[in-house]
Amino acid sequence: MSPRPLSRRSFLAAGAALAGVSRAVHAADDKLKIVSVDAYPVRLWANSTQGALPKFTSDFDPRRWSYSGPYAQLAGALMVVIKTDQGHVGYGMGAGGAVGVQIIEGHLRNLLLGVNPLNIEMLWDQMYSSSLAYGRRGVFVMALSGVDNALWDIYGKHVQQPVWRLLGGTTKDKAQSYFTNANPEKGLELGFEHFKLPIRNGLKDGRAGMQRTVDILTRARDVIGPDRGLMIDCSSRWDDVAYTKEMARRLEDVRLYFIEEPLSPDNVLGYEQLVREVEGTLIASGEHEYTHHGFNMLFRHHAVEVVQPDVTWCGGVTAVRRIAAMAHAEGLPLMPHRGGSLFGLPLALSQPNATLAESFGTGDYGTELMDAVTARFERGYYYPPEGPGFGTELTEDLIRRHVQP
């Protein structure tokens, strides 16, 4: 039996009813206000000494060049808690440790109290613009990331949708991932098919360091076999174009998919040269870049081939959405740093150019807090959460129990 067509009166009545519902929703949205903003420096790893002061052996100890202190990124992770007058609580992960907390509570909070949290793009631009005299990169943007992510969490909870759906839904039903760890055997046991090893030897370790790196990666290739993906993270330790080019040649037999951050993130022209001159492996970067403004310079100079923003460091979901669109326009793959976290996973799921997500929490010796923000993992893939917002299991009590001393 075919449905009866609507009469003109019924059509107008239905339209009026829908308009009434829409006005009610918008009215509720308009009344939503932020009533509190708090931030906490937190511990993600159990028994972690990351960020602790090492015992330097001399003024020339190589570790002095790589000591990152207690405020950098994962060692300085922080959680932002934003509450609204309608009972929504948004949780956002950022970084900057105690310094990031001071920025949030002494600066950004003043731009957030009493305003509508759903105007996320506008609030991001206001907060970023207000930092131009002292911020723009580094610890300010890491703190901003936590705030922006908390606002997206509120948005999802307000409309009862997961963030990945707010970003356009999934382009895949699960996100393939790679395992970042010095122990590839552990990754094989967990079911990973792609592996990234941290490189500890660099320019200051001379020829002997070069050979140690070759030996480590030759063994890793033997362990994982010929058909699995192998990548490396140099953490800027190579820091020289000629050194990096020589290492790329020496490592041809292990068939690296990409070399990540061999140089300082500020050496954009050096990265441009590597992209142009290194053959057989891609150059990855972006973990330590900030906002779409910073990534724009990488794209303009053709200085990156694999784009690796971290949503908890580079400006939050708002910034990474912009970065992902720019990378897509350049025809570049997006591999979110720590994409296996529940904060990074929405980008890995929703962006068509997102090909791999980095592991997070899986195989790590994490705290209960880390477990609460790690996505469900099975045999090399992370799966989308169904809960609203980021779908974390965070509570303010859990966060307080893991505050850094």
Q: Residue 243 maps to which CATH number?
A: 3.20.20.120
Name the residue type at position 217.
L
Residues 74 and 97 in one domain: yes
Q: What is the mean pLDDT of the chain?
A: 91
Q: In the predicted model, what is the mean pLDDT of residues 362-391? A: 94
Cβ contact 265:289 at 8 Å: yes
**What CATH number is given to the structural domain containing 151?**
3.30.390.10
Residue 12 lies in a domain: no
* Whether 196 and 149 share a structural domain: no
Do 306 and 218 fall within a single domain?
yes
Same domain, 91 and 208: no
Closest CA to 152 of 382, 399, 321: 321
Tell which of 104, 127, 161 closes a domain. 161
Whether residue 80 is found in the same domain as residue 203 = no
For 282-320, what is each residue's pLDDT tens digit? 999 999 999 999 999 999 999 999 999 999 999 999 999
- Provide the 8-state DSSP code for 229: E
For residue 137 the two structure tokens come to 């990169």
Asked if residue 358 belongs to a domain, the reply is yes
Instruction: Give 168-225 pLDDT, tens digit per residue.
Output: 999 999 999 999 999 999 999 999 999 999 999 999 899 999 999 999 999 999 999 9
The predicted-structure confidence for 99-150, as pLDDT tens digits, reads as follows: 999 999 999 999 999 999 999 999 999 999 999 999 999 999 999 999 999 9
Based on the fold, state whether residues 154 and 175 are members of the same structural domain: no
- pLDDT digits 0-9 by tens, 64-83: 888 888 888 788 999 999 99
Which position has the higher pLDDT, 85 or 31? 85
Residue 334 included in any domain: yes
**What b/e string do you get for 295-331 counting C-beta neighbours within 10 Å, with b at 16 or more?**
beebbeeebbbbbbbbbbbbbbbbbbbbbbebbbebe
| Region 234-249 average pLDDT | 97
- The total of structural domains in the chain comes to 2
Q: Please give the Cα distance from 315 to 321 (Å, whole number).
A: 10
Residue 38 inside a domain? The answer is: yes
Asked if residue 133 is part of any domain, the answer here is yes
Q: Establish if 273 belongs to a structural domain.
A: yes
Set 88, 194, 337, 402: catalytic member: 337
The last residue of a domain, from among 161, 193, 221: 161
301 is catalytic: no
pLDDT digits (tens, 9 = 90+) for 329-343: 999 999 999 999 999
Q: What is the mean pLDDT of residues 76-94?
A: 97
Residues 89 and 155 both lie in one domain = yes
CA distance 392 to 31: 26
Other C-beta atoms closer than 10 Å to the C-beta of 85 total 12
Instruction: Pick the last residue of a domain from 145, 161, 177.
Output: 161
Strands (E), 266-389: 282-285, 306-307, 357-358, 376-378, 381-383
pLDDT: is 204 or 11 the higher one?
204
Structural domain span for residue 219: 165-394
- The reply to whether 181 falls in a domain is yes
